[in-house]
Amino acid sequence: MDMVDSGVTFSYSRDIKGAQVAEVFDGIVSWLKGEGATVDRMQKPTEISALHGSLTATAIWKKNAEKTMTFKLSEKGDLVHVDLKMAPASTEFGYDVYGYQKKIQSGWGQLAEELWTRLEAPKQSG
Protein backbone atom coordinates (compact mmCIF):
# COMPACT_ATOMS: atom_id res chain seq x y z
CA MET A 1 0.00 0.00 0.00
CA ASP A 2 1.42 3.37 -0.97
CA MET A 3 0.88 6.11 1.54
CA VAL A 4 1.61 9.60 0.27
CA ASP A 5 3.13 12.17 2.61
CA SER A 6 1.19 15.35 1.94
CA GLY A 7 3.12 17.24 4.60
CA VAL A 8 -0.08 17.94 6.54
CA THR A 9 -1.07 15.86 9.56
CA PHE A 10 -4.07 16.27 11.82
CA SER A 11 -3.63 15.11 15.41
CA TYR A 12 -6.18 13.88 17.92
CA SER A 13 -5.78 12.18 21.28
CA ARG A 14 -7.85 10.69 24.04
CA ASP A 15 -7.35 9.04 27.40
CA ILE A 16 -9.55 5.97 27.82
CA LYS A 17 -10.27 5.35 31.51
CA GLY A 18 -10.38 1.92 33.12
CA ALA A 19 -9.22 0.00 30.06
CA GLN A 20 -6.27 -2.22 29.24
CA VAL A 21 -4.07 -1.30 26.29
CA ALA A 22 -4.73 -4.63 24.51
CA GLU A 23 -8.49 -4.11 24.88
CA VAL A 24 -8.28 -0.61 23.36
CA PHE A 25 -6.03 -1.92 20.57
CA ASP A 26 -8.57 -4.64 19.71
CA GLY A 27 -11.39 -2.08 19.85
CA ILE A 28 -9.60 0.17 17.35
CA VAL A 29 -8.89 -2.73 14.97
CA SER A 30 -12.54 -3.82 15.17
CA TRP A 31 -13.74 -0.25 14.50
CA LEU A 32 -11.37 0.11 11.52
CA LYS A 33 -12.65 -3.14 10.01
CA GLY A 34 -16.22 -1.98 10.54
CA GLU A 35 -15.36 1.24 8.72
CA GLY A 36 -14.00 -0.75 5.78
CA ALA A 37 -10.46 0.48 6.41
CA THR A 38 -7.41 -1.47 5.28
CA VAL A 39 -5.05 -2.12 8.19
CA ASP A 40 -1.55 -1.74 6.81
CA ARG A 41 0.54 -2.46 9.91
CA MET A 42 -0.07 -3.62 13.45
CA GLN A 43 2.41 -3.89 16.27
CA LYS A 44 0.25 -5.23 19.07
CA PRO A 45 -0.53 -3.70 21.47
CA THR A 46 0.83 -0.22 20.75
CA GLU A 47 0.75 0.73 17.04
CA ILE A 48 -1.70 0.53 14.15
CA SER A 49 -1.55 2.09 10.67
CA ALA A 50 -4.50 1.99 8.29
CA LEU A 51 -5.92 3.45 5.12
CA HIS A 52 -9.46 4.78 5.69
CA GLY A 53 -12.03 6.27 3.35
CA SER A 54 -12.27 6.58 -0.39
CA LEU A 55 -10.94 8.70 -3.24
CA THR A 56 -14.56 9.05 -4.37
CA ALA A 57 -15.32 11.36 -1.42
CA THR A 58 -16.64 14.67 -2.70
CA ALA A 59 -14.33 16.81 -0.53
CA ILE A 60 -11.12 16.31 1.43
CA TRP A 61 -12.73 17.48 4.69
CA LYS A 62 -15.43 14.80 4.61
CA LYS A 63 -14.85 12.03 7.12
CA ASN A 64 -15.03 9.48 4.28
CA ALA A 65 -12.14 11.10 2.35
CA GLU A 66 -9.18 8.77 1.86
CA LYS A 67 -6.62 9.20 4.62
CA THR A 68 -3.95 7.38 6.52
CA MET A 69 -4.59 6.83 10.21
CA THR A 70 -1.75 6.09 12.60
CA PHE A 71 -2.50 5.11 16.18
CA LYS A 72 -0.02 4.94 19.05
CA LEU A 73 -1.20 3.59 22.38
CA SER A 74 0.43 3.86 25.79
CA GLU A 75 -0.59 3.15 29.36
CA LYS A 76 -0.64 5.98 31.88
CA GLY A 77 -1.69 4.61 35.25
CA ASP A 78 -5.33 3.52 34.93
CA LEU A 79 -5.63 5.20 31.51
CA VAL A 80 -4.81 4.14 27.99
CA HIS A 81 -3.59 7.16 26.02
CA VAL A 82 -4.37 7.06 22.30
CA ASP A 83 -2.56 9.36 19.87
CA LEU A 84 -4.17 9.44 16.44
CA LYS A 85 -2.63 11.13 13.43
CA MET A 86 -4.50 11.44 10.15
CA ALA A 87 -3.11 12.64 6.84
CA PRO A 88 -4.43 12.77 3.29
CA ALA A 89 -3.46 9.51 1.60
CA SER A 90 -3.32 10.99 -1.86
CA THR A 91 -2.09 14.10 -3.60
CA GLU A 92 -5.42 14.00 -5.45
CA PHE A 93 -6.70 16.63 -3.02
CA GLY A 94 -3.35 18.41 -2.68
CA TYR A 95 -4.74 21.76 -3.73
CA ASP A 96 -7.45 21.54 -1.05
CA VAL A 97 -5.40 20.53 1.98
CA TYR A 98 -3.87 23.86 2.95
CA GLY A 99 -6.93 25.92 2.14
CA TYR A 100 -9.28 23.72 4.12
CA GLN A 101 -7.26 22.78 7.21
CA LYS A 102 -9.93 23.96 9.67
CA LYS A 103 -12.69 22.08 7.84
CA ILE A 104 -10.53 18.95 7.68
CA GLN A 105 -9.66 19.18 11.39
CA SER A 106 -13.37 19.44 12.18
CA GLY A 107 -14.65 16.79 9.73
CA TRP A 108 -12.01 14.23 10.57
CA GLY A 109 -12.41 15.17 14.22
CA GLN A 110 -16.01 13.94 13.98
CA LEU A 111 -14.66 10.58 12.84
CA ALA A 112 -12.26 10.51 15.80
CA GLU A 113 -15.15 11.34 18.15
CA GLU A 114 -17.10 8.37 16.79
CA LEU A 115 -14.16 6.13 17.63
CA TRP A 116 -13.67 7.64 21.11
CA THR A 117 -17.38 7.15 21.85
CA ARG A 118 -17.20 3.52 20.81
CA LEU A 119 -14.06 2.87 22.88
CA GLU A 120 -15.53 4.55 25.96
CA ALA A 121 -19.08 3.14 25.69
CA PRO A 122 -18.48 -0.13 27.57
CA LYS A 123 -16.71 1.79 30.34
CA GLN A 124 -19.62 4.22 30.78
CA SER A 125 -22.20 1.46 31.15
CA GLY A 126 -20.06 -0.70 33.41
> Which residues constitute the domain of residue 90?
10-125
The tally of domains found in the chain comes to: 1
pLDDT band at 126 (very low <50, low <70, confident <90, very high): very low
59 in Cβ contact with 96 (< 8 Å): yes
Task: Give domain status of residue 4, yes or no.
Answer: no
Instruction: Report pLDDT digits (tens) over 2-52.
Output: 344 557 899 999 999 999 999 999 999 999 999 999 999 999 999 999 999
| DSSP-assigned states of every residue in 33-102 | HHTT-EEEEEETTTEEEEEESBTT-SSTTSTTB-EEEEEEEEEETTEEEEEEEEEES-GGGHHHHTTTHH
pLDDT tens by residue, 99-122: 888 999 999 999 999 999 999 986
CATH number for the domain spanning 115: value is 3.30.530.20
pTM for this predicted structure: 0.87
Is residue 114 a part of any domain in this protein? Answer: yes
Q: Please tell me the predicted confidence (pLDDT) of residue 6.
A: 53
